[in-house]
């Protein structure tokens, strides 16, 4: 079924099986060969078969029941994996020249709306940036970013005139957790002006809040004008936890 040689055996068993499931050859509910049958088929030990099947069960692609056997899971739409690329990488991947421009920069105590965005109780020192990302010269995304300088003081010394803050932060400030929020909104007058669109043009809004432990590091809100941008999600087989 496959001609791969450079792959480990347990991975080959795994891909063989998941290919059969994803292609529909083995429909939901179909019984997968027993471990001892796979041992014989691939001429390997039971441990190797198990190392192939365990991750599939954890993914939720298959369901294993003692005595009964192993079955193709019944997929449900619950969650998908969404790729959220780095803007510069995304633009260059499209074959367009990437451009970056810092529109404004301000250091100060967080105002009440900024405190709300960073989820803070007490006003802390923040760096507030507004930047424009371009593709082939045309505005591609507007970025509004807050950086908590109590959590990431090094950021105060960086000139973000040429370096997009997202890339710098990823490289310099470790983070442990993030949350994304995706919505649609009409841009404010200022944002519309920067993007060269009307306030009636729908924008995709991507918000991201990033933590290191309990500290909020940064909050970013990206406006993508109109239908110029899509987020594409591939199918994720994860469902309920498998027994």
Residues that bind a copy of itself (CB under 8 A): 21-25, 27-28, 47, 51, 54-55, 58, 74-86, 170, 174-186, 200-205, 208, 212-214, 224, 226-227, 229-236, 238
Give the CA dihedral 146, 152, 153, 158, nearest 10 degrees.
-70
The site partner of 85 among a copy of itself, DNA, none (C-beta below 5 to 8 Å per kind) is: a copy of itself
> Looking at residue 154, what DSSP letter applies?
G
Q: Which span (17-25, 53-61, 115-123, 176-184) binds DNA, by CB under 7 A?
A: 53-61
The span from the CA of 231 to the CA of 82, in Å, is 7
Q: For residues 81 and 233, is the Cβ–Cβ distance under 8 A?
A: yes
Q: Pick between residue 46 and residue 172 the one whose CB is nearest to DNA.
A: 46
Tokens 């005595």 -> residue = 67
Q: Pick between residue 55 and residue 123 the one whose CB is nearest to DNA.
A: 55
Tally Cβ neighbours within 10 Å of residue 115: 17
Residue 89 CB, nearest approach to a copy of itself (Å): 10
Q: Pick between residue 11 and residue 180 the one whose CB is nearest to DNA.
A: 11
Residue 62 CB, nearest approach to DNA (Å): 10
> Looking at residue 78, what DSSP letter applies?
-
Q: Pick between residue 51 and residue 208 the one whose CB is nearest to DNA.
A: 51
Q: Pick between residue 21 and residue 38 the one whose CB is nearest to a copy of itself.
A: 21
The span from the CA of 166 to the CA of 161, in Å, is 13
Q: Is 30 in the site for DNA (CB under 7 A)?
A: no
Q: Is 184 in the site for DNA (CB under 7 A)?
A: no
Tell me how far the alpha carbon of residue 177 is from its chain's centroid: 12
Tally Cβ neighbours within 10 Å of residue 17: 21
Task: Report residue 160 as tokens.
Answer: 């973000």
The site partner of 201 among DNA, a copy of itself, none (C-beta below 5 to 8 Å per kind) is: a copy of itself
The span from the CA of 88 to the CA of 158, in Å, is 19
- List residues binding DNA (CB under 7 A): 8-11, 34-36, 43-48, 50-51, 53-54, 57, 64-70
């Amino acid at each position: 079924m496959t001609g791969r040689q450079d792959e480990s055996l347990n991975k080959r068993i795994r891909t063989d099986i998941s290919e059969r499931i994803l292609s529909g050859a083995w429909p939901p509910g179909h019984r997968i060969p027993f471990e001892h049958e796979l041992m014989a088929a691939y001429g390997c030990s039971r441990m190797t078969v198990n190392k192939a099947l365990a991750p599939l069960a954890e993914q939720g692609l298959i369901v294993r029941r003692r005595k009964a056997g192993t079955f193709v899971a019944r997929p449900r739409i619950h969650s998908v994996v969404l790729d959220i690329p780095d803007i510069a990488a995304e633009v260059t991947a499209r074959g367009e020249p990437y451009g970056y421009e810092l529109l404004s920069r301000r250091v100060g105590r967080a105002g009440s709306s900024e405190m709300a965005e960073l989820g803070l109780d007490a006003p802390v020192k923040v760096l507030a940036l507004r930047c424009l990302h371009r593709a082939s010269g045309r505005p591609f995304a507007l970025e509004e970013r807050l950086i908590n300088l109590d959590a990431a003081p090094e950021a105060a010394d960086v000139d973000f005139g040429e370096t997009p803050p997202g890339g710098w932060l990823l490289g310099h400030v470790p983070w442990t957790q993030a949350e994304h929020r995706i919505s649609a909104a009409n841009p404010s007058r200022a944002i519309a002006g920067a993007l060269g669109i009307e306030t009636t043009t729908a924008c995709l809004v991507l918000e991201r809040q990033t933590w290191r432990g309990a500290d909020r590091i940064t909050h970013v809100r990206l406006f993508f004008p109109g239908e110029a941008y899509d987020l594409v999600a591939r199918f994720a087989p994860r469902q309920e936890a498998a027994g």
